[in-house]
Structure 1
Amino acid sequence: MKMFAQATDTQLINVFQNGDINALEVLVYRYKDKIYSSILFLVKDKYLAEDLFQEVFIKIIDTLRGNRYNEEGKFLPWALRIAHNLCVDYFRKIKRTHFVASDERDVFELIGSVGDAADTKMVQSQSHEKIRRMLDLLPEEQREVIVLRHFAGMSFKEIADVTNSSINTSLGRMRYGLINLRRMMAEKQIAL
């Protein structure tokens, strides 16, 4: 495993396609948090997110084994696009237009906390909960762009690819999403 630590995504994919499963394990470990947290934020159900996460990597494995991967150097955006599409397919399948919020687990717990003091963690947890609730009030397109940008660390070009929109549309959605968040904070006098 250590020998693959410095390998690029493309190198890992090539090694996996040549039969070394350890290379895939490194890829999974490298991106699991970003992919899982993006899925969880969209579906808001821990168990469903785990199922969809597994489906994402099943699709990735099938594509890699079939030598159909052609997104050279863009593994994470490609994997996030698969995750996004599986979430959309799931919601189409159950014919719902809104997201189900059956799990109260704070999505921001997945990002990790800084600071060791209990009071710091409590304040941080309360701030994350406020942000999550405000994000839930945003239109889906704005919320999605903010999540992909700030929690998955994607560029606007990658976001545009994942959401099948233009870069300008993604930028606009981000701008309006942030404006709406600021307006909500001002209206509710929320300080983070």
Structure 2
Amino acid sequence: MKDIIDDSVLVKNYINGNELAIELLIKRHQQRLYSFIYSKIQDRDTTEDIFQDTFIKVIRTLKKGNYNEEGKFLPWVMRIAHNLIIDYFRKNNRMPTFNNTEEFDIFSVLSDGALNAESKIIKEQILNDVKELVEELPEEQKEVLKMRIYNDMSFNEISENTGVSINTALGRMRYALINLRKIIEKNKIILAS
């Protein structure tokens, strides 16, 4: 049985001049990466373009010596592909959108428990994006939203902790979600994994 060379070893070998190492890395992750890109784009030609652009970016970064993800090659490549997918949607004005309804839950994109490796990586990126967006909210709205979403507190508990009525806490949460939607639309952010 063949020993499988670890990604981090192949990356080091490529950086040290072994061109075959990058071919092995591409072959190893090609199916997973291609499937991930295709699941978002739904077009074979564009998927192939983004796939190639991803590895061009990988090669350039490795050659410049800017890679520092030690042992986390696939998540790094997936992040590059995800960013290129977002760029593609922005350039082509094909941003996925959502219905601006009261029932829409921005945080529902974060609640799927059965995720594969790629989805986990994207979910982490989305979670980080959402956390950054939450920071743009007014302080009172941000406080209620964090208590409700991240601390899983009831509105009764939020009311007790903030010293406001339950109705006020509910109102702040409602406005926080409305403002979050506006920020997402304004910045054309993708929150789909």
Q: Of 114, 137, 149, which residue of structure 1 is paired with 2:115?
A: 149
Alignment-derived partner of residue 84 in structure 1: 82
In structure 1, distance between residues paired with 2:15 and 2:84: 24
Alignment-derived partner of residue 31 in structure 1: 29
Q: Of 11, 14, 27, which residue of structure 2 is paired with 1:13?
A: 11
SS of match in other structure, 1:149 = coil
- Structure of higher CA gyration radius: 2
Q: What are the superposed Cα offsets for residues 29-80 of structure 1, whole Å, 9 maximum, x if unpaired?
A: 1111111111001011011000100000000000000000011111111000
Alignment-derived partner of residue 46 in structure 2: 48
TM-score computed with the length of structure 2 as normaliser:
0.55
SS of match in other structure, 1:27 = helix
Alignment-derived partner of residue 126 in structure 2: 163
In structure 1, distance between residues paired with 2:107 and 2:49: 23
Spell out the pairing of 1:94-105 with structure 2 (5 A cutoff): 94-98=92-96
In structure 2, distance between residues paired with 1:93 and 1:18: 36
Contact 1:39 1:53 in 2 (8 A): yes
Q: How much has 1:160 moved relative to structure 2?
A: 4.0
Q: How much has 1:8 moved relative to structure 2?
A: 1.1
Q: How much has 1:161 moved relative to structure 2?
A: 3.9
1:67 alignment partner AA = G
Contact 2:110 2:127 in 1 (8 A): no
2:15 corresponds to 1:22: no
2:57 alignment partner AA = K
In structure 1, distance between residues paired with 2:53 and 2:110: 20
Q: Give unpaired runs (5+ residues) of structure 1.
A: 100-138, 173-192
1:165 alignment partner AA = N
Q: Superposition RMSD on alpha carbons, in Å?
A: 3.4
Contact 2:36 2:118 in 1 (8 A): no
Contact 2:110 2:123 in 1 (8 A): no
Alignment-derived partner of residue 169 in structure 2: none
Q: Of 57, 71, 86, which residue of structure 1 is paired with 2:55?
A: 57
Q: Give unpaired runs (5+ residues) of structure 2.
A: 98-104, 132-148, 150-193
TM-score computed with the length of structure 1 as normaliser:
0.55
Q: How much has 1:165 moved relative to structure 2?
A: 2.5
Are the structure 2 counterparts of residues 80 and 145 from structure 1 closer, same or farther at C-alpha, using a change threshold of 3 Å?
farther
2:81 alignment partner AA = A
Are the structure 2 counterparts of residues 142 and 65 from structure 1 closer, same or farther at C-alpha, using a change threshold of 3 Å?
farther
Contact 1:145 1:159 in 2 (8 A): no
Q: What are the superposed Cα offsets for residues 131-157 of structure 1, whole Å, 9 maximum, x if unpaired?
A: xxxxxxxx99867986x933xx3474x
Are the structure 2 counterparts of residues 94 and 145 from structure 1 closer, same or farther at C-alpha, using a change threshold of 3 Å?
farther
Q: Percent identity?
A: 37
